[in-house]
């Protein structure tokens, strides 16, 4: 008997993918703990918690206890640095970096690990970024470059420093780089899907479109995962 195709569906918090979970639970033939069972596919639902440390720990524990997937998905919302992206637009992140790991210079500049003589190496490129392997894991959604931070950018000064150090970054999150690194270290293709809930600017929650971003994210997830469980 052929082994089922294993999908890992991960998110920082349950509310971001709640509509998709409701749909999967109603459509599944059954469940085994947090794994939803379909005729040829198993979907493991996994919540990491918010932030890079929580994500790294959760994925490390999952991998360390035998977790494996044929397709690893991280889904969530994100802030757009690139103003050409629209609120509610769904993108696939094709590269990631740890945006605020390093040091702060006396003049206020951010210094990466490479800047201070400690380049990360390994699965990182020379630009200190993590990249989706060429020709793998692509989805129908627009591609964008990601940056992950421990503290969401909320001032114009911080945004200027971020743009100066990481000029190609388009979407900011708090988990993506940890997901990318865990997957790449284990030979899994990282498929990170984010819907734009806000622009990265002087913090103003009244301008965020959270409900729209959640709706479009889950519409996109339904199409992506449905393509596997309905084939």
What residues does each domain of the chain span?
Answer: 5-229
**Residue 231 confidence (pLDDT):** 67
**Residue 111 confidence (pLDDT):** 87
3-state SS, residue 160: helix
* The length of the chain, given as a count of residues: 231
**Residue 148 confidence (pLDDT):** 95
**Residue 164 confidence (pLDDT):** 87
**Residue 64 confidence (pLDDT):** 93
Q: Look-up: residue for tokens 């819907």?
A: 195
Q: pLDDT in tens for each of the 231 residues of the chain?
A: 578 899 999 999 999 999 999 999 999 999 998 999 999 999 999 999 999 999 999 999 999 999 889 999 999 999 999 999 999 999 999 999 999 898 888 888 888 898 899 988 999 999 999 999 988 888 899 999 999 998 888 888 888 888 988 999 999 999 999 999 999 999 999 999 999 999 998 898 889 999 999 999 999 999 999 888 876
3-state SS, residue 7: strand
Alpha-carbon gap, residue 45 to 17, rounded angstroms: 10
3-state SS, residue 80: strand
- For 5-229, CATH number out of 3.40.50.1580, 3.20.20.70, 3.40.50.720, 3.40.605.10 equals 3.40.50.1580
Contact, 120 vs 128, CB < 8 A? yes
Alpha-carbon gap, residue 72 to 74, rounded angstroms: 7
Element (H, E) at 22: helix 18-27
């Amino acid at each position: 008997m052929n082994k089922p195709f294993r999908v890992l569906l991960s998110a920082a918090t349950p509310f971001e993918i709640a509509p998709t979970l409701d749909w999967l639970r109603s459509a599944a033939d059954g469940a085994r703990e947090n794994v939803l069972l379909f005729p040829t596919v198993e979907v493991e639902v996994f919540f990491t918690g918010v932030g890079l440390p929580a994500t790294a720990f959760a994925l490390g524990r999952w991998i360390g206890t035998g977790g494996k997937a044929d397709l690893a998905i991280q889904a969530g919302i994100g802030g757009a640095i690139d103003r050409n992206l629209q609120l509610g637009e769904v993108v696939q992140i094709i590269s990631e970096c740890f945006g605020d790991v390093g040091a702060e210079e006396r003049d206020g500049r951010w210094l990466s690990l490479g800047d201070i003589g400690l380049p990360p190496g390994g699965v990182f490129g020379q630009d200190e970024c993590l990249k989706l392997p060429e020709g793998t894991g692509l989805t129908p959604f627009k591609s964008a470059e990601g940056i992950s931070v421990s503290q969401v950018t909320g001032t114009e000064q911080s945004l200027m420093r971020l743009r100066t150090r990481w000029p190609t970054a388009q979407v900011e999150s708090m988990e993506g780089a940890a997901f990318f690194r865990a997957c790449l270290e284990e030979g899994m293709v990282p498929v990170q899907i984010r819907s734009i809930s806000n622009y990265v600017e002087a913090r103003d929650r009244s301008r965020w479109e959270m409900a729209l971003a959640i709706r479009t994210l889950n519409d996109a997830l339904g199409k992506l995962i449905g393509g596997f469980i309905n084939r």
